[in-house]
């Protein structure tokens, strides 16, 4: 960027090593960097999770990193929208008998949109985050493509499948070609206090991973008694609310059966938890709705993909066929266990994220 005015980038700072290294790499690449932390936490949650993403300790760490790198830093309060778009969605999905994916929803409805809004206000060309993923143009330059990060164990493209073309066009992922150890090395090299910081794998607003307890404490759900039934409808026991169960769950069902049983369906309409044997969890077909595509605007013919039905799923060969209303039918070439309504199904061809949608009941 010799002699030219530096391009300005708003970098999302979560207080972790990844976003810290991202800011350092952008400076090294010659960008004019501004650090922003979106305060997503409602105040009552903060007290229970000091050191999680966007909690008070994270803000202190992000500010310290920006200070060390000598870049401006802003803390922006988005907690009201986080409550509305992420926490309320989280509760509503459980009430509807689905298992939510708050990280995808937070990226889609909050983080990327808000960072782009701030970039516009601050005269910045781009935004950047510490996600392990890559963005590039297609061959004829007409579409932005999302690709897996180089470090397959850390790849986060699954959580980004729903980003729109206009969002991808303005997003930089400096860690896309790095491994996790490269990232720590960058932070060490710059003497950043986050270099050795442990990462959390929990949902940021459910610090102890007890989502049922969180939903009750936050007064988002109340206990309501219903039946636990087998696949033929026979009553085996009772539950305190379908919100406290997930597909594939075996422990903590509160019933005694001769053989192990698993939650195979959550029937919100009849307030029933349906259980069955392990074989009842296997399915090879489902419908996904609210699809988003990257190489093209709409899917017009069946395609062969590798489908990931949850973040830690290795992916399975599948045929995806378009249906009306922005839906697709996904036929897995061999059955998968615990296909869970409410989770994202993301479709890959090698490193390319073709697109994805939300698994329906």
Active site members: 106, 204
CA distance linking residue 43 with residue 55, whole number of Å: 9
Task: List beta partners, residue 308.
Answer: 346
**Element (DSSP H or E) covering residue 330:** strand 327-337
CA distance linking residue 343 with residue 280, whole number of Å: 19
| Residue 334 half-sphere exposure toward CB, CA atoms < 13 A | 2
Closest alpha carbon to 223 in 208, 205, 241, 236: 241
CA distance linking residue 194 with residue 16, whole number of Å: 6
Burial degree of 215 (CB within 10 A; 0-12, 13-18, 19+): buried
Closest alpha carbon to 253 in 217, 234, 227: 227
347 in Cβ contact with 354 (< 8 Å): yes
Alpha helices in the chain (DSSP H): 17-28, 43-46, 56-69, 79-82, 88-95, 102-106, 112-121, 165-168, 180-189, 211-217
54 in Cβ contact with 204 (< 8 Å): yes
């Amino acid at each position: 960027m010799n002699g030219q005015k530096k391009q300005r980038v708003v970098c999302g700072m979560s207080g972790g090593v990844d976003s810290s290294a991202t800011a350092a790499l952008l400076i090294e690449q010659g960008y004019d960097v501004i650090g922003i932390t979106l305060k997503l936490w409602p105040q009552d949650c903060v007290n229970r999770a000091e050191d999680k993403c966007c909690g008070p300790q994270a803000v202190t760490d992000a500010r310290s990193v920006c200070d060390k790198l000598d870049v401006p830093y802003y803390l922006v309060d988005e907690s009201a929208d986080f409550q509305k778009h992420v926490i309320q969605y989280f509760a509503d999905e459980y009430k509807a008998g689905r298992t939510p994916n708050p990280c995808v929803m937070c990226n889609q409805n909050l983080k990327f949109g808000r960072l782009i809004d701030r970039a516009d206000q601050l005269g910045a060309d781009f935004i950047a985050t510490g996600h392990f993923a890559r963005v590039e143009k297609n061959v004829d330059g007409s579409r932005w493509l999302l690709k897996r990060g180089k470090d397959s164990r850390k790849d986060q493209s699954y959580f980004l499948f729903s980003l729109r073309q206009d969002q991808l066009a303005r997003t930089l992922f400096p860690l896309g070609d790095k491994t996790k150890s490269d990232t720590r090395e960058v932070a060490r090299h710059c003497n950043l206090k986050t270099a050795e910081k442990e990462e959390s794998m929990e949902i940021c607003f459910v610090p102890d991973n007890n989502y049922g307890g969180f939903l009750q404490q936050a007064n988002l759900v109340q206990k309501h008694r219903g039946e636990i039934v087998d696949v033929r409808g026979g009553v085996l026991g009772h539950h305190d609310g379908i919100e406290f169960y997930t597909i594939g769950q075996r422990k903590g069902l509160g019933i005694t059966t001769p053989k192990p049983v698993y939650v195979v369906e959550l029937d919100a309409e009849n307030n029933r938890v349906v259980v069955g044997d392990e074989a009842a969890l296997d399915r090879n077909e489902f419908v996904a709705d609210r699809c988003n595509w990257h190489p093209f605007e709409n899917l017009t013919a069946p395609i062969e993909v590798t489908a990931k039905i949850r973040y830690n799923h290795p992916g399975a060969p599948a045929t995806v066929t378009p249906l009306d209303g922005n839906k697709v039918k996904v036929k897995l070439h061999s059955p998968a266990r615990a296909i869970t309504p409410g989770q994202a199904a993301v479709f890959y061809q090698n490193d390319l994220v073709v697109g994805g949608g939300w698994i329906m009941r």
